[in-house]
Amino acid sequence: MTGTPVSGAAAAAEQPAVVSLRASTSADRDFLKTVFFSTRFDEFAASGLSVTEIDALLAQQFDMQESYYRRHYPAGRFDVVMSGDIPVGRLYHDWKRGRGLSVIDIALLPTFRGAGIGTRLMQALVERAAQAGLAVNLYVEVNNPVQSLYRRMDFVKCGENGIYESLRREAVPFGSIAEPLPGLQSSIAE
């Protein structure tokens, strides 16, 4: 699980492609696990544990996180992020009238980070939420570099929980229209 088993990922990252979403299925489990591992492996590598021990620990954490998300967000969307026809990440989100859009998790494979895909995803989510009159809420690690993107997008800190900050962006449209995101479904639950 420590590698990136996406063939041609580097070549695809260099060419602009349509970014879209599709609902994840049980067939995506190994891919979603790879995405999760890619976000956590380095922090455990410094622990002195063997690769085998880290893989076992991350597999257990992945299972617990997936179970937690699906139990606590039963109406949530659990999507695979696509760049063209290549799966490149995951986007988990939950739309609730009165509470807003919760961005549960957004993660891309390392090869696709810094290429603007995350920005495009967030712009599309924020725009769709603003159209529905919903604020956008998310948690992000205090030291995560993506904080600068969220600040540029007018998210404001509204709380802290350990190593995470709670950020919120009110239901205000951007000055310009975001690029469409095929597959983005905002099934707003009451």
Q: Residue 162 falls within a domain, yes or no? A: yes
At residue 172, the pLDDT reads: 80
Walk along the chain (190 residues) and give the pLDDT tens digit of each residue.
544 444 344 444 455 689 999 999 999 999 999 999 999 998 888 888 999 999 999 999 999 999 999 999 999 999 999 999 999 999 999 998 778 999 999 999 999 999 999 999 999 999 999 988 899 999 999 999 999 999 999 999 999 999 999 999 998 876 655 556 666 666 655 5
Domains in the chain, number: 1
Check which CATH number belongs to the domain holding 47 and give it.
3.40.630.30
Report the candidate in 156, 154, 83, 152 with the shortest Cα–Cα distance to residue 121: 83
Please give the pLDDT value at position 16.
61
What is the extent of the structural domain holding 94?
A: 18-169
Query: Does a structural domain hold residue 23?
Result: yes
What pLDDT is stored for residue 117 in this prediction?
Answer: 95
Would you say residue 74 lies in a domain? yes
pLDDT of residue 46: 86
Q: What per-residue confidence (pLDDT) applies to 17?
A: 80
Look at residue 65 in the predicted model and tell me its pLDDT: 97
Res 75: pLDDT? 93
CB 77 within 8 A of CB 94: yes
pTM summary value: 0.83
Question: Is position 6 within any domain?
Answer: no
Question: Would residue 12 count as lying in a domain?
Answer: no
Is 178 among the domain residues? no
Residue 33 belongs to some domain of the structure: yes
Residue 32 lies in a domain: yes
